[in-house]
Structure 1
Amino acid sequence: MPAAPASPSLLLRLLLSAALALVVSLALVGLAVDRGFRSASAGALEERLASTVFLLLSTLDVAADGQPLVSEGLAEPRLEQPGSGLYAGVLTESGEWQSASLTGVLEPPRPFRVGRGQERFVGPESDARFFLYALGLGWEQPDGQIVEMTLWAGEDPERYRDQIRAFRADLWRWLGLAALLLIIVQSLILLLSLRPLRRVAHEIGEIEGGERERLSGRYPRELQPLTANLNALLLSERDNASHYRQALSDLAHALKTPLAVMKARLESGESVTAEATADELARMERLIRRQLERAARSTRRTLNQPVAVLPVLERLAESLRRLYRDADVVIEVDGDEQVRVRADERDLMELCGNLLDNAAKYGRGRVLAEVRTGPAGARESGVEIRVEDNGPGLDANTFARLLERGARGDEQAEGQGLGLAIARQLVEAYGGQIDCEASATLGGAAIVARFPPR
């Protein structure tokens, strides 16, 4: 099967994503700043032209015939310089006045008239040849006659455009430098942030090479669930391999006797009937099945889906109530419906079934099953399944003996002495442990199956 093509590294993906987001963000910022600067510059231009108009108004006079008169020596020297780019003028019905700066200008501004008390500004948003500001006034003559006039000021747009171009060049230069600096800083941050992942990959390589058995570095909180699950999986695989090797060894040892019997019969020349051969084969088949079941039970399970414990206990309790109806056994179940254990549901059913059945069988009519977690929740504190009875109780030595296969606490009761042994195998397969305590509630034994945090 051809190898899958290598995908881009996580670092490269993060760098490209961060760089793209950064460039887009700075571009939007640059556009917003540019727009704000152009708007502010247009406002400043209007104020500057309006100031020129009012400066012109301060030196204005009107002749008796309505001709506008402006005294020489204006406070704005650019109005006296031909072709300076700043122009001004006064329009009346009898004539007009223009600043000396219009001298020699081939395409002078085309001022417009506005009504008395009105003003008009033609700025950068228009396609006009010049930026213009006009103000309409009524000038009262000594004889009471009102002379309508328009004062205007204009400016060549090149000055404004040069200012905008210079600002944009500086803006994008600094934004580009800022983007480069931020990308470098972001790269360093990503390199430092991804160091734990590179360390995980390095340690996994050492595990593959046989140089270490587990991940042992100190990792950030976000990676601890990953490393803990990987260590659990590694431990599970080692345990499973060990159990299967032991099972194969036990199977080989168990098959030696029937094979030796069959070999001896064949070598002795004794006639072997089909029935005898079938018996030996059936015996070997039972041995093989038993060893495989034992190996399957002893393997450690990982990465199972969480299973709610309380519904399992309630279903089993209902079945046992019907089974022990004539014995008048009271079985109570208590706990939180949200408590879950990462285990195979069939294993959980068998574990709880063995514990409940033992309590009902060897107790004195009362059984209490509970599922508990610590205050922080199952992931941090683990899960406890407690099955208590009101029987005579168990001491430590008796309980340790009952955990062995075939050991029985009551030789008169039915059974093969496998219940607690199977329960221990199931709990230990998930990294837990099984203990016996005195029941503070019922006074008998309390068998506690503890599952580790997951």
Structure 2
Amino acid sequence: MSKPSIDFSTLLAVSVHDMKNSLGLLVQQLEDVSHKVVDTDTQQELAHMHYEAQRINTNLVQLLALYRQQDLLEIESEQNFLDEVVEELVMNNRFYSKSRGIDVTVNLPDDLFFFGDRSLITQVLNDVFINAMRYTADKLMIEAKRVEDRGCSITIEDNGPGYPDSLLMLNEQQPRYSDMKGSRTGLGLFFAKLIAEAHEYKGQQGFIKLENSSSLGGSRFTLYLP
């Protein structure tokens, strides 16, 4: 009797999906438990656990999205109001930012919108925001502005140590698998670059830009959508 063949790529995708769902429940439960704890040290430990679980969950979401799309990243483009996306972003991460005493400033023009895939853009901004919370000293700032007729740029800045040179090189080239080592692997930025470039309008592609010229003194991430 021949052995049944195993499609490991599908098996991994299903496993990642299950892990993502379980981690999502764990993240919510950690936040619920934190409201019942009065000890400050315990709250901070729970906040750190919440942060790490959410970071892993974000990576799993990215991997699953890349697997589903393979070489073609499909964009469901529609008009989205940025204040709604940013409000959700800040609220979803308030537990960890509050526990670390991070001051989050949001500067958005009234009724600023963008055309693009809300789910994918939210994933990009969430990943950048989560990493910024990890490396900042105590300040984060989200700003956005209109670019040309319908494009917009969104920036997330912090007052941490800034991006290492290995990540700043992503401005000019795609990350390689061999570069994804250490505490800042670049996986999220690789994902962000793919998503940005998949957004096109009249021959213009979206892009990301990494800088260490933040007005706060740390790193500055910019996402441009045409």
Where do 4+ consecutive residues of structure 1 move more than 4 Å? Answer: 287-292, 405-410
TM-score (norm 2): 0.62
The answer as to whether partners of 1:438 and 1:445 remain within 8 angstroms in 2 is yes
Give me the whole-angstrom Cα distance separating, in 1, the residues matched to 2:168 and 2:192.
13
The answer as to whether partners of 1:310 and 1:371 remain within 8 angstroms in 2 is no
| 3-state SS, counterpart of residue 348 of structure 1 | helix
> Structure 1's 351 and 395: CA in aligned 2 closer, same or farther, altered over 3 A?
same
Which amino acid in the other structure matches residue 283 of structure 1? F
Aligned to 1:394: 163
Pick from 274, 296, 315: which aligns with 2:69? 296
| Structure with the greater alpha carbon radius of gyration | 1
> What do the CA deviations read for 1:199-219 (whole angstroms, capped 9, x no partner)?
xxxxxxxxxxxxxxxxxxxxx
Aligned to 2:24: none
Deviation of residue 291 (structure 1)? 8.1
> What do the CA deviations read for 1:15-67 (whole angstroms, capped 9, x no partner)?
xxxxxxxxxxxxxxxxxxxxxxxxxxxxxxxxxxxxxxxxxxxxxxxxxxxxx
RMSD: 3.2
The answer as to whether partners of 1:385 and 1:448 remain within 8 angstroms in 2 is yes
Is residue 175 of structure 2 the alignment partner of residue 404 of structure 1? yes
TM-score (norm 1): 0.33
Is residue 104 of structure 2 the alignment partner of residue 331 of structure 1? yes
Aligned to 1:448: 222
Mind listing any 5+ residue stretches in structure 1 that lack a counterpart? 1-264, 267-271
Number of aligned positions between the proteins: 169
Deviation of residue 309 (structure 1)? 1.2
Pick from 377, 381, 384: which aligns with 2:153? 384
Alignment of 1:27-426 (within 5 A): 281=6, 283-286=8-11, 293-294=66-67, 296=69, 298-301=72-75, 304-374=77-147, 378-379=149-150, 382-394=151-163, 397-400=166-169, 404=175, 407=179, 410-411=182-183, 417-426=186-195
Deviation of residue 324 (structure 1)? 3.5
Deviation of residue 367 (structure 1)? 1.1
> What do the CA deviations read for 1:217-256 (whole angstroms, capped 9, x no partner)?
xxxxxxxxxxxxxxxxxxxxxxxxxxxxxxxxxxxxxxxx
> Structure 1's 291 and 446: CA in aligned 2 closer, same or farther, altered over 3 A?
closer
The answer as to whether partners of 2:160 and 2:218 remain within 8 angstroms in 1 is yes
> What do the CA deviations read for 1:381-402 (whole angstroms, capped 9, x no partner)?
x210101111111255432359
Aligned to 1:51: none
> Structure 1's 300 and 332: CA in aligned 2 closer, same or farther, altered over 3 A?
same
Deviation of residue 438 (structure 1)? 2.8
Deviation of residue 295 (structure 1)? 5.4
Give me the whole-angstrom Cα distance separating, in 1, the residues matched to 2:182 and 2:160.
12
Deviation of residue 351 (structure 1)? 1.4
> Structure 1's 340 and 396: CA in aligned 2 closer, same or farther, altered over 3 A?
farther
Q: Which protein, 1 or 2, shows the higher relative CO under an 8 Å CA cutoff with sep ≥ 6?
A: 2
Give me the whole-angstrom Cα distance separating, in 2, the residues matched to 1:291 and 1:326.
30
The answer as to whether partners of 1:396 and 1:436 remain within 8 angstroms in 2 is no
Pick from 409, 427, 432: which aligns with 2:196? 427
- Percent identity, please: 21
Give me the whole-angstrom Cα distance separating, in 1, the residues matched to 2:89 and 2:180.
22
The answer as to whether partners of 2:145 and 2:154 remain within 8 angstroms in 1 is yes
Which amino acid in the other structure matches residue 433 of structure 1? F
Aligned to 1:155: none
> What do the CA deviations read for 1:126-147 (whole angstroms, capped 9, x no partner)?
xxxxxxxxxxxxxxxxxxxxxx
| 3-state SS, counterpart of residue 129 of structure 2 | helix
Give me the whole-angstrom Cα distance separating, in 1, the residues matched to 2:176 and 2:98.
29
Deviation of residue 442 (structure 1)? 0.6
Which amino acid in the other structure matches residue 216 of structure 2? L
The answer as to whether partners of 2:146 and 2:152 remain within 8 angstroms in 1 is yes
Deviation of residue 365 (structure 1)? 2.2
Give me the whole-angstrom Cα distance separating, in 2, the residues matched to 1:316 and 1:446.
17
The answer as to whether partners of 1:359 and 1:367 remain within 8 angstroms in 2 is yes
Give me the whole-angstrom Cα distance separating, in 2, the residues matched to 1:342 and 1:360.
27
Mind listing any 5+ residue stretches in structure 2 that lack a counterpart? 15-62, 200-204
The answer as to whether partners of 1:435 and 1:447 remain within 8 angstroms in 2 is yes
The answer as to whether partners of 2:13 and 2:67 remain within 8 angstroms in 1 is no
Give me the whole-angstrom Cα distance separating, in 2, the residues matched to 1:344 and 1:332.
25
> What do the CA deviations read for 1:315-368 (whole angstroms, capped 9, x no partner)?
211221213332222222111131111112111211111111111112222111
| 3-state SS, counterpart of residue 450 of structure 1 | strand
The answer as to whether partners of 1:405 and 1:417 remain within 8 angstroms in 2 is no
